[in-house]
Structure 1
């Protein structure tokens, strides 16, 4: 949810004429911020349940935490993130109603992968100039994705930064909080020898690696409206494909008959395939991730061909068709994969956890400060 710029306008009288809004003259339009809030109110309110107190426009979002009294030992989970330079594609296309889903995917799905149910989210939009319809489109995308993931959008802020940002530039960020029972917290400590690694398909690039993407497109001299036969759409639409939301299917899996057999989830974001799986493996465990079990989404091959390099060169930057890894007990792996696939996310076995083997020179071990297990990609991608 976005509120008007928080500083008050200074209105100073001018002798013999109408008052002058000095803040607006400096480039900050609080009236435009008010208009943006009015445009987004309905979509934001649609994410509110009985736990949300107050309405749109307060100084702080309020959420009734008495719901947590039903937990035996509640653990709070929190995450914050942005969308990165994918925003440059949205700006170039003038399409701003999907970037909000990318934000929710980056933030809320980092919460569910530890087993937590998301509770609420706040957002922040910085821009060079408030264009109410554009801000409302961004927030509408955030709100729709929050509703899909069962997350209340309870607060936010917009900040107009003239001179620091160009008039049509903007950036988005968000933070969310969730909760999980302590004994249902997922992670590397639950992973065992023989566990199966399931791969859940991505919708495309999601929100990582766009600095490389934009350089490839620029160097190739392509326009975003160029039709890409392999993708069945324009280049711009393929690059702007929204991040798939995994929260609801993963929570449904955890609550179902096979939930006890789920040991860990890995969200494939910055760092690519091996690193984000290694983060949720215990030290001493190893997985050979079998490339032959899937064919990367066409957009990845198109970009690699344009850049003149093999897909193996970008396994640390792009998800290559996998958005989440699920590490599950081998006795429920087939049923879990079937359930997720039936729910709309193609899921397949991509590896098995082995322990006590040590690591090889070409293994990726841990990531982002986590001293975890080891992962390497083996074989060739399926045609």
Structure 2
């Protein structure tokens, strides 16, 4: 058989473009155009240059006035709370959650957060959706007094579905070395001041979503005991504490010894992280009533109290440890910012942590903390 009598060669495949593979660079450009207005408010005088550079620039000359500046940095995301935003197609507040989770960790050491960058990974760039997410991030940065100096939106077709995305961020701050807060400042008889959360914040959503699914609840349905739809409650943005905490740190009538951001692990675990060895905090449940959503999650899922408290913030978003004489002034300053605050417990010396106390969380080897009594 002659070669020319064989089967015909297949037609060559058509050219394959980047767009054919699922990445639309023009959509990314449209998203940037839509978010420009929101970014205008998320700035500081130290920001150099504008949008579109390969890196964000921040003028550090002001740090020259500090005696011994120490940089502080943090990175975080919002976990599976993004699944709720995606299910409801409501994306304008999830960025606020991101800012709160990142910048408020920086304040814990006494630092002032300066600037932040974000990263959004998605299955497909939807310009309006991306702009809504970034608007939330910009709104959160404006609340915190932090500059949003850059970010990245990356399409990952084949890895994420077109409706899926995840986001993360990183921020940098600065603190005078002599003013760094930490366990070494905490003393016996200090008071533990609780600052109210705005709700679930951005932790424990894997548990919450599982509870909601098992109970057969719909995100759109109204929940009488909560006073609004379940979805609205679950998307309530994380409270950003940076402004009030910076005021407390700088106040002459308040001596802050330590701060704790109540995130993953719950109240006792995060308080124990900022205590030195030999000190214990007893926190009284009777000092507050958790918001209805916490009771609802426990009841709907029959979640054991120990697991609930080790997962959710239970209505306490931040803790300030300070001398008892300064509590009244701190409570007044928190009220000026619209944040409820109350004395939650006290610090005491102990050679042996009480039975059931939490100790040694997140790799620390410090003090211990325990919740006692019943909720009010």
Asked if these proteins are the same fold (TM beyond 0.5), I'd say yes
Matched residue, 2:61: 66
Residues 47-66 of structure 1 aligned to structure 2 (within 5 Å): 47-66=42-61
| Deviation of 1:358 (Å) | 2.0
Residue 118 (structure 2) pairs with residue 123 (structure 1):
yes
Pick from 203, 209, 213 the counterpart of residue 208 of structure 1. Answer: 203
| Deviation of 1:357 (Å) | 4.1
Residues 326-337 of structure 1 aligned to structure 2 (within 5 Å): 326-337=320-331
1:226-285 superposed Cα distances (whole Å, 9 cap, x missing partner): 1111111000111111000100011111222224x1100000001111000000111110
Q: Is the 8 A contact 2:44 2:145 kept in 1?
A: no
| Deviation of 1:225 (Å) | 1.0
Residue 31 (structure 2) pairs with residue 45 (structure 1):
no
Matched residue, 2:5: none
Residue 79 (structure 2) pairs with residue 90 (structure 1):
no
| Deviation of 1:195 (Å) | 0.2
Matched residue, 1:300: 294
Counterpart secondary structure, 1:80: strand
1:287 and 1:131 mapped to 2: Cα distance? 48
Counterpart secondary structure, 1:262: coil
1:18-65 superposed Cα distances (whole Å, 9 cap, x missing partner): x97710111000000000001111211222222111111111111111
Residue 176 (structure 2) pairs with residue 186 (structure 1):
no
List runs of 5+ in structure 1 lacking aligned partners. 1-18
Matched residue, 2:7: none
Matched residue, 1:262: 256
1:356 and 1:220 mapped to 2: Cα distance? 43
Matched residue, 2:190: 195
Matched residue, 2:339: 345
Matched residue, 1:284: 278
Pick from 115, 133, 141 the counterpart of residue 136 of structure 2. Answer: 141
Report runs of 4+ in structure 1 exceeding 4 Å deviation: none
Pick from 103, 110, 114 the counterpart of residue 109 of structure 2. Answer: 114
Pick from 148, 158, 166 the counterpart of residue 153 of structure 2. Answer: 158
Pick from 266, 269, 275 the counterpart of residue 272 of structure 1. Answer: 266
Query: TM-score, with normalisation over the residues of structure 2?
Result: 0.94
Residues 7-46 of structure 1 aligned to structure 2 (within 5 Å): 22-46=17-41
Q: Is the 8 A contact 1:74 1:179 kept in 2?
A: yes
Matched residue, 2:234: 239
1:50 and 1:336 mapped to 2: Cα distance? 29
Matched residue, 1:10: none
Matched residue, 1:4: none
1:43 and 1:340 mapped to 2: Cα distance? 28
Query: TM-score, with normalisation over the residues of structure 1?
Result: 0.93
1:316-338 superposed Cα distances (whole Å, 9 cap, x missing partner): 10000000000001121122122
| Deviation of 1:350 (Å) | 0.6
Total equivalences in the alignment: 363
2:44 and 2:350 mapped to 1: Cα distance? 48
Counterpart secondary structure, 2:320: strand
Counterpart secondary structure, 2:325: coil
Matched residue, 2:367: 373
List runs of 5+ in structure 2 lacking aligned partners. 1-13
Q: Is the 8 A contact 1:267 1:325 kept in 2?
A: yes
Counterpart secondary structure, 1:23: coil
Q: Is the 8 A contact 1:276 1:366 kept in 2?
A: no
